[in-house]
Structure formats: C-alpha cells, structure tokens
C-alpha cells in the first residue's frame, strides 16, 4: 500500500524533498501495543510517560495516538486512575480493620509525615468516626432488642471447676472440690447462681464437708445504682451446723465499672436461720454488707474478690473468697483460690476462723 500522492502544483518550489517528512504516517504496531498496555494498567503517570515518548519519537503519528486515547476514554466513560497514594492506602487498610485505636494512631502518623494532606486526612477521619458511631449505635440497638426478646433460660454464661487431692503414707487423705457459676445479663435485670462443694477425708475421718449454694438477682436502677436480693444455703458440719439459710435484699452501688476493673458495694437487711448440731436452732434478723471486686491484670490473668458480712445479735459471720485466674487455652483456665469464714461466736469446740486453699481447673462456657 502506497501513501497518498501530492500534486506538484501544490508543493512550493524548493520543498519537494521535505514532503515525506511532514505527511501523516501510520503508528507502528509495537508503539500502539505499548500505549494500549499502559492504558490497560490504568496508572495515569505511566500513560502520560508512554504517550509523551510515543509522540516525541513518532511525530507523524500523533493523530493515531490521539485517536487511541479518545477511543479508550470513550470506552471507559471516565478518567484514568490516579497514581496510588501510600498514605491514603495505609489509612484505608486501618479503617477496614475497624480497630478504632489503630485508625487514630495511623491517622496521627499520616498527618505528621504528610503535612500537605492534613485537611484531606482529617476529612477521612471525621467520616470514619461518624460511620463507626452509627455502626456501634446500630449494633447496640440490635443487641438490646435481642436481649429484650430473649427468654429467661437464654443468654446464660458460666463456668465449672474441679480440683482433687490425694496423699498417702503418714497421712492418708483424699479430697474433691467441685463448683459451678452461672450468670445472665439482661437490659434491666441480671442473675447469678453459684454452687460449691468441698469434701475431704483424712485417716478415715471426714475433715472437710462444706456445701454452699447462692442465688442473687439484681435490678438496674441507673448506670451506677442497683437493687439486689440474695438467697444463700450452707452446710458445714465441721463448723457446727447442719444447715444455715439466709435471705437479704437492699441497694448496691458500682464504685468502679470499666473493662479493666469493677468494684460494687451493697448492703441491706437480712434474715438468717441456723440448724446447729448440738444446740437449739436459731432465727434472727440481721444486716448484710458485701463487695464484689474484679481486676483484669492482663488479657490472660484476672483477680477477683467477693466478701460479705452478716451482722446478727448472737454472732457476726464474714465470708471471703479471693481467686486468681490464669487462662490456659480456649475456655480452659487454672485457678488458685483462698476462702476464709469467720464466726465471732461459734458453737463450743469450733474454731472462729476456717480457711481453705483450692487449686482447680476451670472451664468457661
């Protein structure tokens, strides 16, 4: 195929040799392929570089190059993508994780390293905070609606624990410790159920025989204040009584209430009935004061403390349980616990202070 011919009449004298240099020429296929590859890559800087070089080295094919660009833009119905922004990409990745602390940290560093983009970064952070606030509000409303619709037997969480001991030789003993705790939190009500059993025989005689069960409902009055009820059943023949019942109710206050630490105080009137082994039964109106403390020392270690005192006319009874939990894996934890029970006026022949140390494995569910 030959190029178009030009009439000699249209060529000024002295320029016949220059006609081939100014006439349009088809764009070479390799150059065309290079431009199309840059366009497919979508990076504006690469396209601009390739097009600039193509026009500089193929000035007679500029028309073809412009036609390629026009056709591509019409096909894409939009502009070429801007070059990637590392700062923006890093911030976008942090936002995608939905970890608010990470987003704020990355945003702070981004503004320090790219001061010319502070306004843009602030706009992105403001938009992210607004979206996250809306997401959290929606999630809280959904959780509240789910709690409101739940039946009483739903949404319970708990843990079970077991420990055992055995010795032989100068002292033959065997011991077993079992416990279970259940908790349910609703919108305005929470419930706690606990049962603990400790039994030990030493040299053929029973030396520990202690059983406890408790049920405590709480009604939320406001963010800090709550009303409570507490029912407790005990059996401890080593302490001189066969059965002891107590019931109480009153008000409580959350002194500290955050993810790392909680501290609740409560108090109210109480009633106690005791079936002694070797003396008449006793009924009395008493008063109760108690505390519940929890401290998350690390993601794997937690310290807890519960204590209560029942003040009566004949005797004052104080019980305390201190426990240190270490998470092993999954729902499995190891626990060391120290319990103490103090009775100011125990039956004859019974010590005032009774203590116990337990090492148990705990499984949460």
Question: pLDDT digit string (tens) for 55-94?
Answer: 888 888 888 888 888 777 766 655 555 556 787 888 888 8
Residue 218: what pLDDT? 96
Structural domain ending residue among the three candidates 113, 132, 148: 148
CA distances from 294 to 203, 265, 322 (A): 38, 12, 10
C-beta separation of 227 from 248 below 8 A = no
Q: Which of 301, 288, 294 is nearest to 334 (CA)?
A: 301
| Length of the chain, in residues | 365
Residues 111 and 241 both lie in one domain: no
Q: DSSP letters along 70-96, please? A: HHHHHHHTSPPBPPP-HHHHHHHHHHH
- The pLDDT value recorded for residue 262 is 96
CB 260 within 8 A of CB 228: no
Query: Both tokens of residue 10?
Result: 């249209």
Spatial distance between the Cα atoms of 167 and 196, rounded to a whole number of angstroms: 23
Whether 217 and 302 map to the same domain: the answer is yes
The verdict on residue 88 lying in a domain is no
Whether residue 267 is found in the same domain as residue 219: yes
The pLDDT tens digits for 169-188 are: 777 889 999 999 999 998 89
Q: Judge if 254 and 319 occupy the same domain.
A: yes
Q: Which residues of the chain have pLDDT under 70?
A: 1-22, 74-84
Q: What does the pLDDT read at residue 184?
A: 94
Query: At which residue do the structure tokens 């030959």 appear?
Result: 2
Helix (H, G, I), strand (E, B) or coil at 84: coil
Q: CB neighbours of 59 closer than 8 A, spacing ≥ 6?
A: none
- Token pair 């070059």 in the structure block, residue: 83
Are 276 and 316 contained in the same domain?
A: yes
Domain hosting 101: range is 97-148
Q: Angle CA(268)–CA(296)–CA(185) in degrees, nearest 5?
A: 50
How confident is the model over 234-280, as pLDDT tens digits?
Answer: 999 888 889 999 999 999 999 999 999 999 999 999 999 999 888 88
In DSSP notation, 172-204 reads -EEEEEEEEEEEEE-SSEEEEEEEEEEEEEETT
92 lies in some domain: no
Whole-prediction pTM value? 0.65
Same domain for 111 and 213, yes or no, is no
Q: Are residues 140 and 160 in the same domain?
A: no
325 and 210 together in one domain: yes
pLDDT value, residue 92: 86
**Same domain membership, residue 114 and residue 34:** no
Look at residue 2 in the predicted model and tell me its pLDDT.
Answer: 45
State the Cα torsion 53-55-61-62 to the nearest 10°: 150
Which tokens sit at 77? 């119905």
Maximum Cα–Cα distance across the chain: 141
Q: Is 160 exposed, middle or buried (0-12, 13-18, 19+ CB in 10 A)?
A: middle
Structural domains in the chain (count)? 3
């Amino acid at each position: 195929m030959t190029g178009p011919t030009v009439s000699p009449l249209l060529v000024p004298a002295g320029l016949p040799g220059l006609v081939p240099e100014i006439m349009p020429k088809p764009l070479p296929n390799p150059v065309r392929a290079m431009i199309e590859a840059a366009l497919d890559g979508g990076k504006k800087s690469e396209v601009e570089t390739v097009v600039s070089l193509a026009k500089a080295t193929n000035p007679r094919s500029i028309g073809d190059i412009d036609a390629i660009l026009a056709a591509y833009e019409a096909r894409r119905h939009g502009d070429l993508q801007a070059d990637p922004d590392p700062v923006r990409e890093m911030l976008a990745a942090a936002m995608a994780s939905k970890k608010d602390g990470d987003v704020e940290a990355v945003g702070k560093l981004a503004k320090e390293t790219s001061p010319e983009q502070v306004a843009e970064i602030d706009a992105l952070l403001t938009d992210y905070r607004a979206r996250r606030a809306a997401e959290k509000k929606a999630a809280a409303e959904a959780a509240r609606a789910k709690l409101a619709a739940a039946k009483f037997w739903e949404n319970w969480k708990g843990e079970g624990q077991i420990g055992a001991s055995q010795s032989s030789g100068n002292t033959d003993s065997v011991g077993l410790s079992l416990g279970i705790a259940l908790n349910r939190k609703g919108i305005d009500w929470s419930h706690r159920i606990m049962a603990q059993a400790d039994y030990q025989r030493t040299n053929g005689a029973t030396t520990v025989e202690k059983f406890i069960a408790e049920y405590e409902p709480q009604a939320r009055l406001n963010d800090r204040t709550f009303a409570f009820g507490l029912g407790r059943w005990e059996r401890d023949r080593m302490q001189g009584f066969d059965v002891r019942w107590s019931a109480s109710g009153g008000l409580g206050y959350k002194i500290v209430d955050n993810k790392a630490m909680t501290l609740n105080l409560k108090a109210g009137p109480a009633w106690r009935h005791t079936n002694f082994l070797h003396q008449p039964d006793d009924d009395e109106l008493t008063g109760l004061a108690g505390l519940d403390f929890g401290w998350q020392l690390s993601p794997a270690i937690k310290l807890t403390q519960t204590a209560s005192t029942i003040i009566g006319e004949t005797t004052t009874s104080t019980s305390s349980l201190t426990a240190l939990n270490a998470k092993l894996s999954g729902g499995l934890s190891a626990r060391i616990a120290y319990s103490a029970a103090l009775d100011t006026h125990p039956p004859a022949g019974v010590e005032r202070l009774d203590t116990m140390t337990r090492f148990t494995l705990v499984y949460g569910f």
